[in-house]
């Protein structure tokens, strides 16, 4: 489709925003309430902060044009997990959150069709 070619030739940031838009729409259809997007700290960024049944959920979004080199979620390595952990700790400290939370990941693979893989409760504390 023409829209995919235009998106894939766009800047990395534009493609990231497009993938996050897809993830947000996907989550909203599942009943999630989006609280914030692209929350930045000096040591990392949280793509999406949402609530699901009063549970605070942090979502990392990953995109790959094809699955030729693996699933997009396989790109969440140790360094990213460390930055994400620091950002989440800073966020919950900033807002004074003391309740339960969950960390999810959404992998989006594009091409002729879009595939969205939502993994709940990813493990980031290595």
Task: Specify the higher pLDDT residue, 5 or 109.
Answer: 109
> Which CATH number is 11's domain given?
3.40.1350.10
From start to end of the chain, where are the E strands? 33-41, 44-52, 55-64, 101-109, 115-119
76: containing domain: 2-119
Asked if the structure places residue 124 within a domain, the reply is no
pTM: 0.85
Number of domains in the chain: 1
Per-residue model confidence as pLDDT tens digits over 38-95? 999 998 999 999 999 989 999 999 998 877 778 899 889 889 999 999 999 999 999 9
- End-to-end CA separation in angstroms for the chain: 40
Looking at residue 71, its pLDDT comes to 87
Asked if the structure places residue 126 within a domain, the reply is no
């Amino acid at each position: 489709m023409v829209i995919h070619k235009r998106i894939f030739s766009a800047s990395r940031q534009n493609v990231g925003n497009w993938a996050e838009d897809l993830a947000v729409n996907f989550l909203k259809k599942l009943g999630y309430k989006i609280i914030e997007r692209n929350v930045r700290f000096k040591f990392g960024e949280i793509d999406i902060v949402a609530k699901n049944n009063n549970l605070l959920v942090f979502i990392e979004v990953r995109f790959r044009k094809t699955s030729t080199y693996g699933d997009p979620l396989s790109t969440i390595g140790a360094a990213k997990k460390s930055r994400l952990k620091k950002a989440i700790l800073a966020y919950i400290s900033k807002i004074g959150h003391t309740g339960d939370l969950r960390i999810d990941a959404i992998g989006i693979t594009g091409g002729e069709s879009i595939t969205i893989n939502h993994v709940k409760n990813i493990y980031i504390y290595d």
